[in-house]
Amino acid sequence: MNPDEPRQIENDPRHADWRHPVDEIEPLAPAGDSNTRACEALSRTFIWIADAGTLEQIGLRATVVLHTVREDLIEGATLEEIGHRAGCTRQAVENLLADFRATLGWR
């Protein structure tokens, strides 16, 4: 490479002359209150998951979170299917779901 030639910078958004389409669809929120609220929600979510007694319960709680926020990541599993895989009833999973929503202040 010739030292007089400009160095090509790949995959560095700071040097891009265009913006990725996702930036137009989901623009970053300005720093401030919304970031604080998002961090608080994530913190409460992780604490709720970690408060489980065993690794199996942690996995079940993580699955309940995914069912709530991104059901597609667990292939649209129903509460009954989640309970069956975890060895508990659908009602037990529903109770966890209600507890998670209460923890975040969701209805």
Question: Is 72 part of any domain?
Answer: yes
Query: Does residue 11 lie in a domain region?
Result: no
Number of separate domains in the chain:
1
In a domain, residue 4? The reply is no
Q: Inform me whether the pLDDT recorded for 26 exceeds 80.
A: no
pLDDT digits (tens, 9 = 90+) for 54-105: 999 999 999 999 999 999 999 999 999 999 999 999 999 999 999 999 998 8
**What CA–CA distance (Å, rounded) separates 67 from 60?**
10
CA distance 84 to 90: 8
Does 83 fall in a domain? Answer: yes
Query: Which range of residues forms the domain containing residue 73?
Result: 20-104
Structural domain contains residue 2: no
List CB contacts of 98: < 8 A, sequence separation 6 or more: none
Instruction: Please state, rounded to an integer, the average pLDDT across all residues of the chain.
Output: 81
Give the pLDDT band of residue 22 (cuts 50, 70, 90): very low
Q: Is residue 37 part of a domain?
A: yes
pTM of the model: 0.67
Is position 1 within any domain? no
